[in-house]
Amino acid sequence: MAVLSVLDLSPVVEGGDVGQALASTLDLARHAERLGFHRYWLAEHHNFPGIASAATSVVIQHVAAGTSTIRVGAGGIMLPNHAPIVIAEQFGTLAALHPGRIDLGLGRAPGTDMLTARALRRNLDAGVDTFPQDVVELMRYFEPAEPNQQIRAIPGEGQDVEVWILGSSTYGAQLAAMLGLPYAFASHFAPDELENATAIYRSRFQPSDRLAKPHLMLGVSVIAAPTDEEARLLFSSQQQAFVAIRTGRRGKLPPPLAGYEENLDPQAKSMLRHTLSCAIVGSPDTVRAGLKAFVERTGADELMVTAQIFDHAARKRSYEILAGVKDEIAAAA
């Protein structure tokens, strides 16, 4: 059975604020640690009223300091927004504070709209086009310093930071394979290139000092509840958020709305079913079957599970159900 990890978008819910969202993030991370999840990742998104993790390295420190064994990291840092040495220093600091527990997933998208990207970067002439070179430069900062090396990341050099490439297309798959790095594919919101990207990554993988064989992680939304009906109701918050984003109406995570999908226009309904086609939503039996089928179909080594649920207690319960289902599948194997 694939290893299970958690992707938390630190949702800011309607009626709530960023402080509450970050408190819930730490509470969920401690919960995930107790349940035996392997990693806990936060993501860099900017200008999203419903996401509290824009200062991703700061939130990672918040979570890592409040937990003790679970790996904590970025899923991911949008590297074109930053100078590689700055990220090396940030994650070198995190690794020095929490040895052997820090992951750094790197993406090349802006994590926002283009106007905000310009505010972040000031200059958009490079960015995406220099992503491969920036990844290599960043990894070099984690290596021990060479004699007379003029530019050093301190903290950073010599630190044990697990570097990942993230992607939603075949581009990231090719880069991860070429550099011999683990690869995480965003099938939880961009399933189109899932089969192509995973095939390219596995077939072209070149072993490196960091990784001897391919390691594939797939993102998947899992909303679990005692019944299929309740799970589908909880899922409607995430559905509403996706429709809002696609129609330019970013906001906080809304409460569940009964019958939401059924009352959508055909175009919006089609978009949701396609974008969230990998989502597993339902009772323990439904989640068990869906999880098993997804892993058998994809051969994923690891699943990065996200659950955009309005009620924090229901979100914690969803991960409890998932952990129990995973243990049942492993025991039966």
Distance of alpha carbon 239 from alpha carbon 236, whole angstroms = 5
Q: What is the pLDDT of residue 129?
A: 75
The number of residues in the chain equals 333
Is the pLDDT confidence value at 291 over 70? Answer: yes
Q: Is residue 161 within 8 Å of residue 142, measured between CB atoms?
A: yes
Distance of alpha carbon 201 from alpha carbon 198, whole angstroms = 5
Q: Tens digit of pLDDT for each residue in 25-78? A: 999 999 999 999 999 999 999 999 999 999 999 999 999 999 999 999 999 999
DSSP letters of 115-139?
A: HHHHHHHS--SSGGGGHHHHHHHHH
Q: What is the mean pLDDT of residues 112-133?
A: 70
DSSP letters of 313-328?
A: HHHHHHHHHHHHHHHH
Q: What is the pLDDT of residue 159?
A: 96
What confidence category does residue 245 fall into, taking pLDDT thresholds of 50, 70 and 90?
A: confident
Q: What is the pLDDT of residue 219?
A: 97
Distance of alpha carbon 203 from alpha carbon 188, whole angstroms = 23
Q: Tens digit of pLDDT for each residue in 299-323? A: 999 999 999 999 999 999 999 999 9
Residue carrying structure tokens 């323990």: 284
When comparing pLDDT for 110 and 181, which is higher? 181
Q: What is the mean pLDDT of residues 242-259?
A: 92
Q: Is residue 131 within 8 Å of residue 80, measured between CB atoms?
A: yes
CA dihedral for 134, 51, 63, 167, sign (positive or negative) = negative
What confidence category does residue 121 fall into, taking pLDDT thresholds of 50, 70 and 90?
A: low
Could you tell me the pTM of the whole model?
0.94
Distance of alpha carbon 243 from alpha carbon 50, whole angstroms = 13
Q: What is the pLDDT of residue 328?
A: 79
Ranges of each domain in the chain? 3-332
Distance of alpha carbon 298 from alpha carbon 41, whole angstroms = 21
Q: Tens digit of pLDDT for each residue in 192-203? A: 999 999 999 999
Q: Is residue 116 within 8 Å of residue 48, measured between CB atoms?
A: no
Is the pLDDT confidence value at 173 over 90? Answer: yes
Q: Is residue 73 within 8 Å of residue 103, measured between CB atoms?
A: yes
Q: What is the pLDDT of residue 162?
A: 98
pLDDT over 70 for what percent of the chain?
A: 95
Q: What is the pLDDT of residue 126?
A: 57
Is the pLDDT confidence value at 277 over 70? Answer: yes
Is the pLDDT confidence value at 127 over 60? Answer: no
Structure tokens at 169: 């297309």
What confidence category does residue 109 fall into, taking pLDDT thresholds of 50, 70 and 90?
A: confident
> What CATH homologous superfamily does 3-332 map to?
Luciferase-like domain (3.20.20.30)
What confidence category does residue 88 fall into, taking pLDDT thresholds of 50, 70 and 90?
A: very high
Q: What is the mean pLDDT of residues 126-144?
A: 88
Q: What is the pLDDT of residue 280?
A: 98
